Structure 1
Amino acid sequence: MRYLTCIILAFFLCFPPLKAQAVNPVIYADVPDMSMIRVGDTYYMSSTTMHLSPGLPIMKSQDLINWEIVGYAYDRLAENDAINLIDGQSAYGRGSWASCLKYHEGTYYASTFSSTTGKTHVYSTEDIEKGPWRARSFTPAYHDHTMFFDDDGRVYMIYGVGDLKIVEMKEDLSGVKPGSEERVLIENASAPAGDNIMLRAEGSQLFKVNGQYYLFNICWPREGMRTVIIHRSDKLTGPWEGKVGLQDLGVAQGGLIQTPDERWYAYLFRDNGGVGRVPYLVPVRWEDGWPVLGVDNKVPEMLDLPPQKGLMPGIVASDNFNRKKESSDLPLVWQWNHNPVPDYWSVRARKGFLRLTTERLDTSFVSTRNTLTQRTIGPVCTGTTKIDVSHMRNGDFAGLSLLQKNYGLVGVKVISGKKYLVMVSTENGKAVERVRIPLAQNTVQLRINCDFRDQADTATFYYKVKGKSWRPIGTSMPMPYTLPHFMGYRFGLFNYATKESGGYVDFDYFKISDG
Structure 2
Amino acid sequence: MYKNPVLNADYSDPDVIRVGDRFYLVASSFDAVPGLPILESYDLVNWRLIGRALARQLPLDRYSVTQHGNGVWAPALRFHNGEFYLYYPDPDFGIYMVKAKNAAGPWSQPLLVKAAKGWIDPCPLWDEDGKAYLVSGLAGSRAGAKSVLIISRMKPDGTELLDGGAIVYDGHGEDSTIEGPKLYKRHGYYYIFAPAGGVPTGWQVVLRSRNIFGPYERRKVLQQGTTTINGPHQGAWVDTGTGEDWFLHFQDRGWLGRVVHLEPMKWADDWPEIGDEAQGPIGQPVLSYRKPKTLHPSTPRNPADSDEFNEAALGLQWQWQADPEPTWSFPSQALGVLRLIDTPAPPQAHNLWNTPAVLLQKLPAPRLMATTKLKATILNQGDRAGLILLGKDYGALALTKTEHGNVLRQLLCMSANLGTSERIVAEVPLSQDDVYLRVAVDEGSVSFSYSVDGKEFRPIGQRFMAQPGIWIGAKVGIFASGVTDHGEFGYADFDWFRLTALP
State which drifts further: 297-306 or 233-242: 297-306
SS of 2:471's partner is coil
- In structure 2, relative to structure 1, the CA distance for the partners of 1:417 and 1:393 (3 Å cut) is farther
Per the alignment, residue 493 of structure 2 pairs with 506
Does residue 487 (structure 1) correspond to residue 472 (structure 2)? The answer is yes
Instruction: Look up the equivalent residue of 1:441 and give its one-letter code.
Output: Q
* 1:158-237 to 2 correspondences below 5 Å: 158-160=135-137, 161-177=146-162, 180-186=163-169, 188-189=170-171, 191-193=173-175, 197=176, 200-220=177-197, 225-237=201-213
Per the alignment, residue 303 of structure 1 pairs with 289
Instruction: Look up the equivalent residue of 1:182 and give its one-letter code.
Output: G
Per the alignment, residue 72 of structure 2 pairs with 96
Instruction: Look up the equivalent residue of 2:161 and give its one-letter code.
Output: V
Instruction: Look up the equivalent residue of 1:494 and give its one-letter code.
Output: F
Deviations for 1:186-221, whole angstroms, at most 9, x for unmatched residues?
1x235445xxx4xx1011111112221111111117
Paired residues, what number? 469
2:388 to 395, 401, 407: 401
* Aligned sequence identity (%): 29
**Aligned-residue offset at 1:360:** 2.8
Q: What is the TM-score normalised by the length of structure 1?
A: 0.86
Structure 1 portions without partners, runs of 5+: 1-20
Counterpart CA distance in 1 for 2:51 and 2:354 is 27
**Aligned-residue offset at 1:126:** 1.7
Structure 2 portions without partners, runs of 5+: 138-145, 278-282
CA contact (8 A) 1:233 1:240 kept: yes
Does residue 36 (structure 1) correspond to residue 23 (structure 2)? The answer is no
- In structure 2, relative to structure 1, the CA distance for the partners of 1:361 and 1:146 (3 Å cut) is closer
- In structure 2, relative to structure 1, the CA distance for the partners of 1:251 and 1:124 (3 Å cut) is same
Per the alignment, residue 58 of structure 2 pairs with 78
- In structure 2, relative to structure 1, the CA distance for the partners of 1:119 and 1:298 (3 Å cut) is closer
**Aligned-residue offset at 1:365:** 1.3
- In structure 2, relative to structure 1, the CA distance for the partners of 1:308 and 1:62 (3 Å cut) is closer
CA RMSD between the two structures: 2.2
**Aligned-residue offset at 1:310:** 5.8
CA contact (8 A) 1:164 1:184 kept: yes
Per the alignment, residue 320 of structure 2 pairs with 336
Per the alignment, residue 280 of structure 2 pairs with none
CA contact (8 A) 1:125 1:134 kept: no
Counterpart CA distance in 1 for 2:300 and 2:361 is 16
Does residue 291 (structure 1) correspond to residue 272 (structure 2)? The answer is yes
CA contact (8 A) 1:190 1:229 kept: no
Deviations for 1:131-187, whole angstroms, at most 9, x for unmatched residues?
34353114125311111111111111111231211111122222222xx3311111x
2:431 to 437, 440, 443: 440
Per the alignment, residue 246 of structure 2 pairs with 265
Counterpart CA distance in 2 for 1:102 and 1:368 is 35
- In structure 2, relative to structure 1, the CA distance for the partners of 1:221 and 1:147 (3 Å cut) is closer
- In structure 2, relative to structure 1, the CA distance for the partners of 1:468 and 1:23 (3 Å cut) is closer
CA contact (8 A) 1:190 1:219 kept: no
State which drifts further: 29-38 or 431-440: 431-440
Deviations for 1:407-447, whole angstroms, at most 9, x for unmatched residues?
21112122225211111122244332211111111110001
Deviations for 1:453-476, whole angstroms, at most 9, x for unmatched residues?
xxxx11111100138610111111
SS of 1:343's partner is coil
Deviations for 1:371-402, whole angstroms, at most 9, x for unmatched residues?
22221121311111111123342111210111
**Superposition misfits of 4+ residues, deviation over 4 angstroms:** 306-311
Counterpart CA distance in 1 for 2:269 and 2:26 is 31
- In structure 2, relative to structure 1, the CA distance for the partners of 1:349 and 1:106 (3 Å cut) is closer
SS of 1:278's partner is strand
State which drifts further: 272-281 or 341-350: 341-350
Per the alignment, residue 359 of structure 1 pairs with 343
Does residue 346 (structure 1) correspond to residue 330 (structure 2)? The answer is yes
